[in-house]
Structure formats: C-alpha cells, structure tokens
C-alpha cells in the first residue's frame, strides 16, 4: 500500500493507494487531473419499467399521491447477526455503529446545500428540503470516522464537518482535501480498491458510475471530475456493508463482487434517475429502482436498504418524494427478486 502524507493549512492529509488500485484518468485533458468512470460505455440495462411504474401501495401511506408518505408495511427479517446497528438519517446519510463500538457516518448532510448553492438552487425553482432529525452534539463528538462518496452538495456539506469536529478521521475520494475547511482535520484520500482500517473495521473505497463537481455555477468545466467518486465497503468479522454512493448501473458492481466477495447489507440508491429534460443521461449516473435490484443481485446482497427518496429529500430528478419507493416495491414483485428489502423511514434504526 502506498501512502503519501502532507498538510494543507493545518489539516493533515494522507493519500492511500492499494497495490492494485484502479484510477481512470481523462487522457483528453492534460491541464489538470480529471477522473473517468471505470467503464465509460453506456451499459445495457437488463430491465426497464415502461408502463404503470408507480402504482399505489397499501404499505405506503401518503398525504397526497406519492408525496409526504410513510412506509407502514412488513420488514424483511434476516438472520445476519452482523453486529451492525444502522440508522438512516435521510437522503444518503447513514449512521453505523459496529459491535466493537465504532461509530461511522456516511455522507452526513443535515441541512440544505452549502451557501451559495442553497440560495441559487431555490432561485431556480429547486425544492427546499425539510431538514431531518439529526444526531445530538454528544453523539457527533463520539464519531470515529466519516466516509464521503463524492463531492456533490447533497453528499458533502462543510457545516456538518465543522459540527463533527476534528476528533473524527475523514475518509474521502482523491482530490477532496482542498475542499475541507481549515481546522486540524485528519483527511485520508483514497483511490478505488484501496483499503485502510478504523479500530476493528476494514474500509475499502470502491468504484461508482458517476461524476463530480463543486463549482457553484452549474455546468462550468473548471472543476468537473477533478475529484474522484465511489462507494464504500465496511467490513467487520467477515460481515460487509456496501454503500453504493450515487451511481448508475454498470459492470462495476460485478467487479466489486469479484474482488471483495458477496455483501451482507447493501445500502442502495433508488432515486434521482428521472429528469424530463436530461433524458437518458440521468439514468447513466443514477440507478432506477430496477437497476438497484439487479445490482443487489449481482452483489449477492443478503438484504437491501434503499435510500434517496423521502420527506427530507430534495426530490432532484424524481416525480415526488416517494415515487421511487413505489416503483421499487412494484419492480421487486415484477422481477420476483431474491434480495430481501428492508424499507426504512427517515431516522429509523435497525440492528442487523
């Protein structure tokens, strides 16, 4: 494993590359480092819902059709006994407590987007998020590790970094450190398939099919794909949690399974795949519910927990707050999927 250490201001920065780490660079632009997806070709999608994709469900109680809802249906049971306690905090944010007492946060974003994009987003007609219930200050101060999947505003928020503080260690894709506030933070930048450990947990950063950018003026090329993106595998005592990050469907799921083995708990995105003006590009970088189900089968997930929908979501690229969940329930039945679903409402906690 190659480790390069340094500092930016008073932050402590380490770069970690595994012995067979994979990074794909954009060879057409040599002005600065830019990353590519592991597989850039548009994939063949195994299945696509085309008709009656959002039927009402007796298990999803809504104030208006597919909007402001709560799941009330049965929960799939599992005999995993993995020792992981998982709380869904909303959108892509999770809190994970392992049996050794380690506390890990995934993509913590407790409020709106960072300024000034929160202001610009609302001016252009974006949905203002209903802010979720969040972790207490005492809990935040006990966090051991914070894992980020990519740098988009709905997954990386500087105010949450400041609230968590510099006791925790931060694990990010390559290129992230320069976007952190100053504050004595310990930042570990990682390439795909690189590994490290926190207490008894093994952490592996894995590919996703997505893109990156942080500049507040949309669609300017200045910082496009200058930071890496991906997902995470968290392992303890041979039990694995897979967090996909934002991703479209591609053969990278099979590559992850081939390298790291079958997954126990899969935290899979099911939203933000639809946009009337963006066409097929949205699906290239975000899984539909049926894409997520196929990927979960390829990963041999013992249970799948979906995320991205919800009353505390921004509804970016969605028909409504819970349309993606309705489509997931429908397609799970249509595909006769072998992967058990564990449906959570925001702020729910499960022991697996």
Tell whether the model's pLDDT for residue 217 goes beyond 90.
no
What was the pLDDT predicted at 213?
Answer: 85
Residue 240, strand partner residues: 235
pLDDT of res. 334 = 96
Burial class (CB in 10 A: 0-12, 13-18, 19+), 107: buried
User: 211 lies in a domain?
Assistant: yes
**58 pLDDT above the threshold of 90:** yes
pLDDT > 90 fraction of the chain, expressed in percent and rounded:
67
Which CATH number fits the domain that encloses residue 259?
3.60.15.10
- Over the stretch 136-162, which tens digit does the pLDDT of each residue have? 999 999 999 999 999 988 899 989 999
Residue 116 confidence class, pLDDT cut points 50, 70, 90: low
Q: Which two tokens stand for residue 290?
A: 């049926």
If we measure between CA atoms, which residue out of 276, 308, 319, 346 comes closest to residue 154?
308
* Distance of alpha carbon 296 from alpha carbon 232, whole angstroms: 14
What local confidence, expressed as pLDDT, does residue 8 receive? Answer: 54
Q: Which are the contacts of 82, defined by CB distance < 8 A and separation ≥ 6?
A: 236, 239, 241, 264, 265, 352
Phi, psi of 103 (to 5 degrees): -115, 120
| DSSP alpha helix (H) spans, 42-185 | 117-123, 137-140, 158-164
In this model, does residue 60 exceed pLDDT 60? yes
273 is in which domain, residue-wise? Answer: 45-351
Q: What is the DSSP string of 144-163?
A: -EEE-S--STTT--HHHHHH
User: Average of pLDDT values for 36-48?
Assistant: 90
Q: How much is the pLDDT for 153? A: 85
Confidence tier at 349 by pLDDT (50, 70, 90): very high
Residue 252: φ, ψ to 5°: -65, -25
pLDDT at position 318 is 79
Which pLDDT belongs to residue 140?
96
Within-domain flag for 24: no
pLDDT of residue 29: 66
| pLDDT one-digit tens code per residue, 271-323 | 988 876 666 788 999 999 999 999 999 999 999 999 999 998 878 767 889 99
User: Do the beta carbons of residue 93 and residue 107 sit within 8 Å?
Assistant: yes
- DSSP for 302-319, written as a single string: SEEEEES-STTS--TTSS
User: Is 1 part of any domain?
Assistant: no
Q: Average pLDDT in the 15-35 region?
A: 76
Mean pLDDT, residues 220-245: 91
Report helix, strand or coil for 225.
coil
Q: So what's the pLDDT on residue 315?
A: 80
Q: Is residue 346 classed exposed, middle or buried when 0-12, 13-18 and 19+ CB atoms within 10 A define those classes?
A: buried
Q: Check residues 112 and 102 and name the one with the higher pLDDT.
A: 102
Q: Across-strand partners of 134? A: none
Closest CA relative to residue 60, chosen from 352, 271, 344, 290:
344
What total of structural domains would you count in the chain?
1
Q: pLDDT tens digits, residue range 235-253?
A: 998 899 999 999 999 999 9
On whether residue 26 sits in a domain, the answer given is: no
- Say how far apart CA 229 and CA 35 lie, in whole Å: 9
166 occurs within a structural domain: yes
Percent of the chain with pLDDT over 70: 87
Q: Please, which pLDDT band fits residue 221 given cuts at 50, 70 and 90?
A: low
> For residue range 65-104, what is the model confidence (pLDDT) as tens digits?
999 999 999 887 667 788 899 999 999 999 999 999 999 9
- Residue 258 CA to residue 251 CA, distance in Å, equals 11
Residue 104 is assigned to a structural domain of this protein: yes
Distance CA 336, CA 330 (A): 10
Q: Rounded to an integer, what distance in angstroms lies between the CA atom of residue 148 and that of residue 151?
A: 8
**Torsion (CA) 313, 319, 324, 326 in degrees, nearest 10:** 120
Helix axes 289-298 and 323-334, enclosed angle (nearest 10) = 50
pLDDT at residue 170, rounded to an integer = 98
Judge whether residue 164 has pLDDT over 70. yes
Residue 230 lies in a domain: yes
Q: Which of 100-109, 152-161, 263-272, 330-339 has the lowest mean pLDDT?
A: 152-161
Strands 201-206 and 194-198: antiparallel
Question: How high does pLDDT run on average in the chain?
Answer: 89
Output the CA–CA distances (angstroms, integers) from residue 217 to 120, 150, 151, 181, 223, in the order listed: 9, 18, 15, 20, 11
**Residue 34 pLDDT grade (very low, low, confident, very high; cuts 50, 70, 90):** confident
> Does some domain include residue 6?
no
């Amino acid at each position: 494993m190659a480790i390069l250490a340094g500092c930016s201001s008073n932050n402590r920065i380490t770069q970690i590359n595994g012995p067979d780490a994979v990074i794909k660079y954009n060879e057409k632009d040599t002005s600065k480092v830019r990353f590519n997806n592991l597989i850039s070709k548009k994939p063949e999608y195994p299945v696509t819902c085309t008709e009656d994709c959002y039927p009402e469900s007796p298990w999803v109680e809504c104030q208006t059709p597919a909007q402001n809802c709560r799941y009330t249906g049965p929960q799939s049971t599992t005999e995993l006994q993995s020792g992981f306690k998982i709380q869904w905090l909303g959108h892509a944010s999770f809190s994970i407590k392992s049996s050794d007492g380690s506390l890990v946060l995934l993509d913590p974003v407790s409020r709106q987007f960072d300024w000034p994009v929160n202001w610009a987003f609302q001016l252009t007609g974006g949905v203002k998020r209903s802010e979720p219930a969040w972790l207490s200050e005492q809990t935040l101060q006990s966090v051991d590790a914070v894992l980020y999947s990519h740098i988009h505003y709905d997954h990386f928020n500087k105010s949450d970094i400041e609230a968590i503080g510099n006791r925790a260690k931060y694990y990010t894709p390559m290129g992230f450190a320069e976007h952190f506030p100053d504050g004595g933070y310990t930042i570990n930048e990682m390439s795909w398939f690189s590994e490290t450990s926190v207490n008894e947990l093994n952490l592996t950063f894995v590919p996703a099919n997505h893109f990156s950018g942080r500049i507040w003026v949309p669609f300017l090329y200045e910082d496009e794909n200058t930071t890496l993106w991906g997902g995470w595998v968290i392992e303890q005592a041979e039990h694995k949690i897979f967090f996909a990050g934002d991703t479209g469907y591609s053969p990278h799921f099979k590559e992850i399974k081939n390298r790291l083995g079958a997954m126990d708990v899969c935290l899979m995105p099911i939203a933000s795949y639809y946009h009337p003006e963006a066409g097929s590009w949205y699906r290239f970088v975000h899984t539909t519910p049926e894409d997520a189900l196929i990927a979960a089968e390829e990963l041999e997930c013992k249970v799948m927990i979906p995320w991205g929908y919800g009353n505390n979501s921004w509804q970016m690229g969605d028909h409504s707050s819970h349309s993606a969940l309705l489509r997931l329930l429908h397609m799970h039945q249509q595909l006769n999927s072998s992967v058990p679903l564990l449906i959570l409402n925001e702020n729910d906690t499960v022991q697996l």
